[in-house]
């Protein structure tokens, strides 16, 4: 039957052989190469691992475990880990797309399943590919504050990360031997410099268009351009190059960005109100209460600390305020005390934050009234905000009204 033969021929043309994935019909490109796939895969594996480890660290800050306290020193540690998290996530975008482009014809390989191992491997590609795309997409959308979904970003991003990492472990196990062989052997074609007339037919130069090395360089170049145009939101000397960064560390109220304005937090009336008080209560011998002017006159301690947003931007400032540990002593709290800091902001997951023992007693953990010589603006947490070393910005609670000793 000629029609059936024609269909079979067409299917053969449009599909690939799982054993000879490079021997493709419709998708032939000299760039679809094992070694290139291995290079891209290894790079992506490194970037995703950086994102996962730094993401876990950030999660641990926001969901503390009593048996695994996070260090409050060095003070800039969270700034480094979270900047790395966001920068590695952004840089992985071109590499993920390139990797998927190189291996995409495997998606249409026939027969779809050869044996049990192949079936397990192919099923595992779904959480890997879908999860990888989800993580990069949701991360980039989140830093641009674009929320086309209805789920809570931190929880979804965190749990899908486990799915991706699990799929990555399975994938590395499946590809280890192939990737190692591909990375170990020298390139099958002579490099450009060695190309001569005799080798012309097989040298990189003979192929019009990007060489494999050129393709890899371009993809890394794309990751580099994205990094260069965004990383200035946290590496302040590169601020002027950060044309595509969602934040500028020198733009915002009092020349500094904020993630949540006073209007969005619903504290425009309560924060500047003469009824405002800071109350220190809980497991204390003396309940304390201060108004805004008393706090301002008590604010004598200064510390230079970074404020580092989970979204990857940060800046360093000189803060002035009252030490939390001095307040604990004044209230007669136990030496082992921990504390929870509550905001005037209601109904947000970030309305309060926890200070473990090390953080509560750190000499630089302040309830600040000033930064860089200026009284805090409403958007920066007037009349009082928490600032402590090595904490994520979301835990540097603003519009602080209660310190509950635990």
Give the one residue of 50, 84, 160, 278 binding another protein; rule: CB under 8 A.
160
**Tokens read off for 205:** 């130069």
Question: Residue 257, class by beta-carbon neighbours within 10 Å (0-12 exposed, 13-18 middle, 19+ buried)?
Answer: buried
Q: Which is nearer to another protein, 180 or 285 (CB)?
A: 180
Q: Shortest CA distance to 358 belongs to which of 63, 61, 59?
A: 61
Q: In the beta sheet, which residues pair with residue 320?
A: 302, 370
Contact map string, positions 292 to 311, toward another protein, x by CB under 8 A: --------------------
Question: Residue 274, class by beta-carbon neighbours within 10 Å (0-12 exposed, 13-18 middle, 19+ buried)?
Answer: exposed
Which of positions 196-215 make contact with another protein (CB under 8 A)?
Answer: 202, 208-211, 214-215
Question: Residue 14, class by beta-carbon neighbours within 10 Å (0-12 exposed, 13-18 middle, 19+ buried)?
Answer: middle
Is residue 162 a contact residue for another protein (CB under 8 A)?
yes
Residues in the chain: 406
Residue in the structure block whose two tokens are 């002027």? 240
Smallest distance, Å, CB 322 to another protein?
26
Question: Phi, psi at residue 346, to the nearest 5°?
Answer: -110, 150
Smallest distance, Å, CB 70 to another protein?
20
Contact map string, positions 23 to 42, toward another protein, x by CB under 8 A: x---x-x-------------
Which of positions 44-83 make contact with another protein (CB under 8 A)?
Answer: none
Smallest distance, Å, CB 214 to another protein?
6
Which of positions 251-270 make contact with another protein (CB under 8 A)?
Answer: 251-253, 256-261, 263-264
Is residue 243 a contact residue for another protein (CB under 8 A)?
yes
Give the one residue of 71, 74, 112, 173 binding another protein; rule: CB under 8 A.
173
Degrees, nearest 5: CA angle 386-392-397: 25
Specify whether the CB–CB gap between 403 and 343 falls below 8 A: no
- Window contacting another protein (CB under 8 A); options: 37-45, 157-165, 283-291, 296-304: 157-165
- Window contacting another protein (CB under 8 A); options: 158-166, 286-294, 369-377, 382-390: 158-166
Which of positions 94-133 make contact with another protein (CB under 8 A)?
Answer: 94, 97-98, 100-101, 104, 107, 117, 120-121, 124, 126-127, 129-131, 133
Give the one residue of 140, 195, 235, 404 binding another protein; rule: CB under 8 A.
140
Q: Is 317 helix (H, G, I), strand (E, B) or coil?
A: strand
Which of positions 3-22 make contact with another protein (CB under 8 A)?
Answer: 19-20, 22
Query: Is cis: bond before 165, omega within 30 of 0?
Result: no
DSSP state of 204: G
Q: Which is nearer to another protein, 76 or 214 (CB)?
A: 214
Question: Residue 144, class by beta-carbon neighbours within 10 Å (0-12 exposed, 13-18 middle, 19+ buried)?
Answer: exposed
């Amino acid at each position: 039957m000629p029609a059936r033969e024609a269909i079979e021929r067409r299917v053969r043309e449009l599909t690939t052989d799982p054993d000879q994935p490079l021997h493709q019909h419709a998708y032939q490109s000299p760039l679809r190469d094992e070694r290139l796939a291995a290079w891209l895969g290894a790079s992506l594996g490194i970037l995703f691992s950086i994102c996962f480890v730094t993401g876990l660290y950030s999660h641990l800050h926001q969901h503390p475990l009593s048996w695994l306290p996070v260090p409050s020193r060095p003070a800039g540690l969270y700034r480094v880990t979270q900047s790395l998290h966001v920068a590695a996530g952004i840089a992985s975008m071109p590499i993920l797309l390139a990797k998927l482009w190189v291996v995409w014809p495997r998606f249409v390989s026939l027969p779809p399943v050869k044996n049990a191992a192949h079936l397990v491997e192919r099923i595992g590609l779904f959480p890997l590919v879908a999860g990888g795309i989800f993580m990069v997409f949701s991360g980039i959308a989140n830093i641009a504050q674009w929320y086309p979904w209805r789920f809570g970003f931190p929880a979804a991003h965190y749990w899908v990360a486990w799915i991706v990492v699990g799929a990555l472990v399975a994938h590395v196990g499946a590809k280890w031997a192939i990737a190692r062989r591909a990375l170990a052997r020298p390139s099958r074609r002579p490099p450009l410099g060695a190309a001569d007339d005799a080798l012309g037919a097989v040298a990189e130069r003979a192929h019009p268009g990007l060489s494999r090395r050129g393709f890899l360089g371009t993809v890394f170049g794309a990751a580099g351009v994205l990094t260069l145009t965004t990383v200035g939101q946290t590496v302040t000397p590169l601020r002027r190059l950060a044309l595509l960064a969602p934040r500028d560390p020198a733009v915002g109220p009092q020349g500094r960005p904020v993630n949540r304005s006073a209007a969005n937090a619903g504290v425009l009336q309560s924060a500047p109100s003469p009824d405002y008080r800071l109350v220190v209560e809980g497991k204390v011998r003396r309940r304390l209460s201060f108004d805004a002017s008393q706090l301002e006159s008590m604010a004598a301690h200064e510390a230079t600390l970074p404020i580092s947003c989970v979204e990857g931007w940060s800046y360093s400032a000189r803060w002035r305020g009252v030490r939390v540990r001095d307040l604990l002593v004044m209230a007669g709290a136990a030496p082992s005390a921990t504390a929870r800091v509550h905001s005037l902001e209601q109904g947000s997951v970030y309305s309060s934050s926890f200070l473990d023992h090390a953080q509560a007693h750190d000499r630089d953990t302040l309830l600040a009234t000033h930064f860089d010589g200026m009284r805090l603006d409403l958007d920066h947490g007037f009349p009082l905000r928490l600032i402590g070393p090595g904490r994520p910005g979301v835990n540097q609670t603003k519009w602080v009204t209660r310190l509950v000793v635990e």
